[in-house]
Amino acid sequence: MALHSLPPRTRRSLKRLLAGVACSLTLCSVAHTALAADPVPAPDAALVEKGRYVAAAADCAACHTAESGKPYAGNYAFTLPIGTLYASNITPDKTHGIGRWTEAEFVRAIREGIRPDGASLYPAMPYPSYARMTDEDLHALYLYFMHGVQPVAQAVKPNAIPWPLSVRFPLTLWRWMFAPTPQDARTATLHRPYPTAEQARGAYLVEGPGHCGACHTERGLAMQEKALTAQDGAAYLAGGKPVDGWTPPPLRGEALTGLQSWSKADIAAFLQTGRNMHGSAFGSMEPAVHHGTQSLTEADLLAMAAYLKTLPARVEQTPYKADPAATKALRSGGSLTAGQLLYLNNCAACHGSNGKGFPTVFPPLAGNPTVLTAQPDSVIHIILAGGTLRGTQGAPSAFTMPGFASRLTNVEIATVATFIRQAWGNTAPAVTDMEVNNLRKTLPHPTAQSLTPPPAP
């Protein structure tokens, strides 16, 4: 029936009814649209900020942020004995990141190394240490990644790990053999007795989120850390094997290569600024400071230092004793050895003829724990490739040491490195040109591959 054929009164009533229905439908549509567009209310800002702090303590950015990449977007490359592993995207992007993960899935991945799909994570992810983290810290961390991190729609490169090493199911056995259960891990770190509350807090930060042992503890044949806490024996933080051409030194009380001569304030300053009177951060430690420890409170840094100072030396060493002979030779103007001449022409301007440098600008070489390690990798690496210590909140100036790979031959680098490791009272083994050659081949920059210096201008 056509509307115009109805009586006028009926037409008016029907129009009002249809208008009311239309209005109701419109209001429902607007309300639905508003509800769909309205995001889930953000959590307490204080909890998100706490999560940001926990992320710094756990050094998440250093591993999950590629050079010049966006924060936490992954693709940072780990060169491992089994191949190259690329860090995952842990932004809240729902396609390439962790945006669809529940909190339970997030916590399980961090503490147990198991992804939401059930696959095991490679132990490059330090979940044996993260297993010690508290429920409160992990809850705040989850809220930070979901609400305080910008999602980045970036795919991660496929890992370059050959078959059968790329097969993940054996990692289930690895976890069963070498990774503690979260309950056991938290009991071992959180509930053992400590002399002071400060040391207890330091133990939690070092053994848990800080995962210091991942680098500074030697690994076994299965790439497991030989000790996960101070309770596991003297192997804990006794120094690691070379990684990416850097040798992590001991963080125990060794007189030459460890922290015996460092005060709590020295350790805290190093973690806060990447430098102190004994040396400067470089290699993988520099990003650990830049992305992580520089953001911690002074109280937490001192707590970490207090705990580290409780660890006795694993290897007894004679304390460093200065010897002025090398300084006198360099300043004499007389006949110099090849090592002395190379040092005078390439190194002395910054590090001084006395090897003391100009702390905290140019680090000392005399008595420097990194110089004195048995493995010369770190010394060779820094001479070949150089390095940059970026500015931090506590020390805003950045300093760069140039690389000498294209300027000095293998023999020359071995010669000057040997001089540095045996001058001013240093007592480290000599360096061979074969050791320099082997490390030179691993460096990514083309200039580092040059085996002969360029012709003189």
Q: How far apart are CA 221 and CA 168, in angstroms?
A: 17
Residue 63, annotated as binding a ligand: yes
Percent of the chain residues past pLDDT 70, beyond the cut: 88
Condensed to tens digits (0 to 9), the pLDDT of residues 329-368 reads 999 978 999 999 999 999 999 999 999 999 999 999 999 9
What average pLDDT does the chain have? 88
pLDDT at residue 268 tops 90: yes
Task: Judge whether 428 and 422 are in contact, CB under 8 Å.
Answer: yes
pLDDT of residue 41: 59
pLDDT of residue 169: 83
More confident residue, 442 or 352: 352
In a domain, 395, yes or no: yes
pLDDT at residue 405 tops 50: yes
Q: How far apart are CA 36 and CA 251, in angstroms?
A: 53
From the number of C-beta atoms within 10 Å of its C-beta (0-12, 13-18, 19+), residue 173 rates as exposed
pLDDT at residue 286 tops 60: yes
3-state secondary structure of 399: strand
Nearest to 126 by CA among 203, 177, 52, 58: 58
Residue 212, annotated as binding a ligand: yes
Q: Which of residues 137, 162, 189 is at a domain's end?
A: 189
What CATH number did the domain enclosing 429 receive? 1.10.760.10
pLDDT at residue 19 tops 50: no
Q: pLDDT band for 14, please (50, 70, 90 cuts).
A: very low
Dihedrals φ, ψ of 422, to 5°?
-130, 10
pLDDT at residue 39 tops 70: no
Q: How far apart are CA 392 and CA 291, in angstroms?
A: 9
Q: pLDDT band for 11, please (50, 70, 90 cuts).
A: very low
Q: Which of residues 189, 213, 240 is at a domain's end?
A: 189
Q: How far apart are CA 345 and CA 423, in angstroms?
A: 16
pLDDT of residue 326: 96
pLDDT of residue 24: 41
pLDDT of residue 43: 81
Residue 291, annotated as binding a ligand: no
Residue 23, annotated as binding a ligand: no
Q: Lowest mean pLDDT: which of 36-50, 144-158, 202-216, 406-420?
A: 36-50
User: What is the DSSP-derived secondary structure letter of residue 203?
Assistant: H
Rounded to an integer, the average pLDDT of 261-276 is: 97
In a domain, 88, yes or no: yes
In a domain, 443, yes or no: yes
Q: Which of residues 168, 189, 210 is at a domain's end?
A: 189
Residue 28, annotated as binding a ligand: no
CA 62, chain centre distance (Å)? 5
Rounded to an integer, the average pLDDT of 92-120 is: 96
In a domain, 37, yes or no: no
More confident residue, 20 or 441: 441
> What is the span of the domain harbouring residue 406?
325-449
Number of Cα atoms under 13 Å in the Cβ half of residue 172: 6
In a domain, 185, yes or no: yes
Residue 290, annotated as binding a ligand: no
In a domain, 363, yes or no: yes
In a domain, 245, yes or no: no
More confident residue, 218 or 170: 218
Q: How many structural domains comprise the chain?
A: 2
Residue 64, annotated as binding a ligand: yes
pLDDT at residue 40 tops 90: no
pLDDT of residue 31: 39
In a domain, 104, yes or no: yes
Condensed to tens digits (0 to 9), the pLDDT of residues 52-77 reads 999 999 999 999 999 889 999 999 88
Helix ranges, 356-396 (H)? 377-385
Q: How many other C-beta atoms are found inside a 10 Å radius of the C-beta of residue 192?
A: 12
The pTM is what? 0.86
Q: How far apart are CA 193 and CA 196, in angstroms?
A: 9
Condensed to tens digits (0 to 9), the pLDDT of residues 174-200 reads 999 999 999 999 999 999 999 999 999
